[in-house]
């Protein structure tokens, strides 16, 4: 089954069983559709809803988002992860205002020319907001197509991706392309899920290749496994009497570009205090904390008997240990966490520091799997 018949089955199913109450649905507002599409990349709907509402309240129009500072945008995004999306979001809003008069274009090629908008996102905006006959191919849709048509091979491989785009182009209907694309996304999110798919309630189950061949759990073909680099850091947490934290903005490169973090010193798993002390001397000198050198040296010695706090990202595995200092008096570099965009790991480091203060000899392993 393909083409108009395939689309008709899905549109009929979406009308009766699909999601109808998401705040960006049925608005015809390209700005709202775009915001949701960017936020939903690699993030679940339940997580996105709160951030979507917060950002839309702060920036109800694309011109408001364009006029905001990048730090304000990062603050609104803080905790959602994959921060390149936030930087592209801001840059895209500015280009929509500068190049298109504050109105998202209808043309897919024009949409693709904007920062952070790929072919699938452009198709989603064009079809959902403007009713343009444009295909989409996000993660949910790839999974539906791979299973239904029995497409083998990792979906991001060039030949496989080309095959999936051909399927997407063939099936998108002239009538109701937006609802059809919504149906594909809804089916992947609620029925054809990565684990424990609900094949009995799927409208495509009678002609699904993967179901007929018993390959539902094998498709899509998983990504070939690749070892993630493991990185080790000693983080210095300096707080004042108001619990404000010494924070510094990260440079325009790296995983936390544009975010605020405590000072961190890279090291190896078998860290030696003597080797790390010169690095911390530079940090202490920079922030006027040289009087804490002896305390830091003692803490570095104690760290060797403590476990690492593990922070897992998509492409790397990060390990942290914590040094903690208390300082009184106002300092311009001290900030409340609510004042600056910080990655989630900062909250976990503070929790770790609190636990160590309660039980200095604790060696309990602390492991958290988080988006950065």
Cα distances from 65 to residues 27, 52, 98, 214, 338, in angstroms, run 19, 13, 13, 48, 20
CA distance 271 to 160: 45
Catalytic residue among 4, 37, 152, 156: 37
Tokens at 150, concatenated: 């029995």
CA distance 103 to 111: 11
Tokens at 77, concatenated: 């995004």
SS3 181: helix
**21 CA to centre of own chain:** 23
CA distance 164 to 254: 32
CA distance 206 to 291: 74
Q: Which is it for strands 264-267 and 230-239: parallel, antiparallel or unpaired?
A: antiparallel
Residues 235 and 349 sit within 8 Å (Cβ to Cβ): yes
317: CB partners within 8 A, 6+ apart:
228, 229, 230, 231, 310, 311
* DSSP letter assigned to residue 251: P
* DSSP letter assigned to residue 336: -
- 156 in active site: no
Residues 156 and 166 sit within 8 Å (Cβ to Cβ): no
In order, the DSSP letters of 195-241 are SS--GGG-TTGGG-HHHHTT-TTT-SPPPPP-PPPEEEEEEEEEE-T
In order, the DSSP letters of 86-148 are HHHHHHHHHHHHHHHTTS--SSHHHHHTSTT--HHHHHHHHHHHH--------HHHHHHHHHH
Q: List residues with catalytic annotation.
A: 37
């Amino acid at each position: 089954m393909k083409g108009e018949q395939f689309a008709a089955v899905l549109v009929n199913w979406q009308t009766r069983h699909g999601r109808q109450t998401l705040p960006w649905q049925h608005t015809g507002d390209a700005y709202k559709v775009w915001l949701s599409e960017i936020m939903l990349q690699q993030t679940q709907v339940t997580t996105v809803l709160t951030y979507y509402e917060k950002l839309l309240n702060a920036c109800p129009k694309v011109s408001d988002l364009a006029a905001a500072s990048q730090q304000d945008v990062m603050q609104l995004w803080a905790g959602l992860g994959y921060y390149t999306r936030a930087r592209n979001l801001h840059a895209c809003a500015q280009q929509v205002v500068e190049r298109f008069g504050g109105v998202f274009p209808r043309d897919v090629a024009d949409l693709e020319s904007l920062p952070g908008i790929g072919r699938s996102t452009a198709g989603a905006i064009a079809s959902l907001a403007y009713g343009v006959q444009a295909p989409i191919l996000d993660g949910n849709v790839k999974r539906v197509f791979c299973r239904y048509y029995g497409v083998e091979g990792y979906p991001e491989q060039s030949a496989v991706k080309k095959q999936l785009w051909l399927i997407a182009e063939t099936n998108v209907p002239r009538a109701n392309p937006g609802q059809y694309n919504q149906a594909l996304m809804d089916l992947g999110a609620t029925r054809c899920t990565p684990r424990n798919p609900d094949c009995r309630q799927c409208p495509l189950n009678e002609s699904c290749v993967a179901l007929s061949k018993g390959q539902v759990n094998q498709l899509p073909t998983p990504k070939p496994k690749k070892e993630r680099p493991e990185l080790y850091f000693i983080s210095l947490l300096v707080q004042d009497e108001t619990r404000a934290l010494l924070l510094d903005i990260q440079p325009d490169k790296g995983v936390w570009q544009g975010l605020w973090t405590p000072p961190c010193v890279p090291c190896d798993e078998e860290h030696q205090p003597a080797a790390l002390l010169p690095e911390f001397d530079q940090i202490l000198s920079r922030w006027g904390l040289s009087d804490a050198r002896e305390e830091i040296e003692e803490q570095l010695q104690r760290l060797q008997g403590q476990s690492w706090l593990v922070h897992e990202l998509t492409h790397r595995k990060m390990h942290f240990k914590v040094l903690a200092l208390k300082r009184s008096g106002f300092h311009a570099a001290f900030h409340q966490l609510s004042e600056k965009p910080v990655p989630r790991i900062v909250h976990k480091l503070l929790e770790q520091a609190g636990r160590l203060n309660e039980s200095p000899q604790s060696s309990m392993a602390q492991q958290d799997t988080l988006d950065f």
